[in-house]
Structure formats: structure tokens, C-alpha cells
Amino acid sequence: MARKNPLLSDQFRMFHRYLGFFLAGIMAVYAISGIVLTFRNTDYMKSEVEVARNLEPGLDDEALGAALRRRAFKADRVEGDLVYFSGGQYNRATGAAVYTEKRLPIVLEKMNNLHKMHSGNPLFWLGIFFGLALLFFSVSAFFMFRISAPVYKKGLYFAVAGFLLTVLLLLV
């Protein structure tokens, strides 16, 4: 027989459960891309791709580095109109640039782009919604059990341990 006034903890359990099911896919994407982003400074899972682009003709080294989106760009040598750099070349007369890039497989690249979303992205609201949902998960966990329940006290110990670990990691 159902209660007429369900407890607040029952309501939080229900919202927590169904929001968890709803967000299971995006949480998996964020988890996988977070792991992959940990190795972004390595070539792990990346393959070389040849890129041919038409840039503005006559770019100097600084503008060429910016156009190619390469930090600390440095030209190796210049022979006539051809500028040679690590992994490619640029023709100052025509603006043609041919170079190799290391890229992740397209699915992982899309996941990473979703993970690194910013306010200029048309789907920025998804990141805000997901962040608020995760905040709800972390807060609602404290309302899912009665304060007098033994599991609540044990949960508080784990929450304090997690908080202290986070503070420790922020200070390192």
C-alpha cells in the first residue's frame, strides 16, 4: 500500500534514479573523453593525417603559426617562396600549406570537442545542464537516506574523505 505523503528521501531517490538513467550516455562520453584528454600531450591513439590548406599568401612566421594553430611555431628553413617547418611546408607566393597532423579517431575527436565546449559553441547549454545535473547528483545523495540510518553516517565519512582528497589534489 502506497503512502499518501512520500518522504522527501523517496522523492530525491526517484529524481536521482531517473536523471541518472537519462544522463548515462553523456556521462559515458564525458568519462571516456576525460580519460583520452589525460593523454592529449602524447601521441596515444593518434594517427598521422596529411592536411592541405590554402592560407593567405605572404604570411610571416608569426602569422603562419597562428593560421596553422601551432604554438611556438618555428620555421626550419626558407628556400625562395617555400617555408619549411616541422612536418610540412608553406608557399608564400600561393598560400598553399601542406603538412601532417596527428589526430585522434573521429569519434574520440568529437567526444573531446564536446568535453571542451565553451560559451561560443551552439550546444553550450548542454554543458551547463550537465554540470547542474552533476551538482544535483552530489547534493541529492545526502537526501536519499534518513539521517538516523547507519548508511548515512558511513556515507558522510566517505564524503569527508572525498572532500579532503580533492583539497589535497588542489594543493599539489
Closest among 172, 113, 160 to 152, alpha carbons compared: 160
At 2, the pLDDT band (50, 70, 90 cuts) reads: low
Contact assessment for residue 56 and residue 67, using Cβ atoms and an 8 Å cutoff = yes
Write a three-state SS string for the chain: CCCCCCCHHHHHHHHHHHHHHHCHHHHHHHHHHHHHHHCCCCCCCCEEEEEEEECCCCCCHHHHHHHCCCCCCCEEEEECCEEEECCEEEECCCCEEEEEEEECCHHHHHHHHHHCCCCCCCCHHHHHHHHHHHHHHHHHHHHCCCCCCHHHHHHHHHHHHHHHHHHHHHHC
Average pLDDT estimate for 54-79? 93
Residue 116: pLDDT above 80?
A: yes
Q: Per DSSP, what are the bridge partners of residue 100?
A: 50
Average pLDDT estimate for 25-31? 91
Average pLDDT estimate for 45-64? 94
Average pLDDT estimate for 101-108? 94
Instruction: Calculate what percentage of the chain has a pLDDT beyond 70.
Output: 97
Contact assessment for residue 111 and residue 32, using Cβ atoms and an 8 Å cutoff = yes
Q: What is the pLDDT of residue 7?
A: 75
Residue 4: pLDDT above 70?
A: no
Contact assessment for residue 89 and residue 99, using Cβ atoms and an 8 Å cutoff = yes
Average pLDDT estimate for 137-142? 88
Average pLDDT estimate for 149-163? 92
Q: What is the pLDDT of residue 5?
A: 53
Residue 71 is placed in which grid cell? 604554438
φ, ψ dihedrals at 97, nearest 5°: -125, 130
Q: What is the pLDDT of residue 141?
A: 86
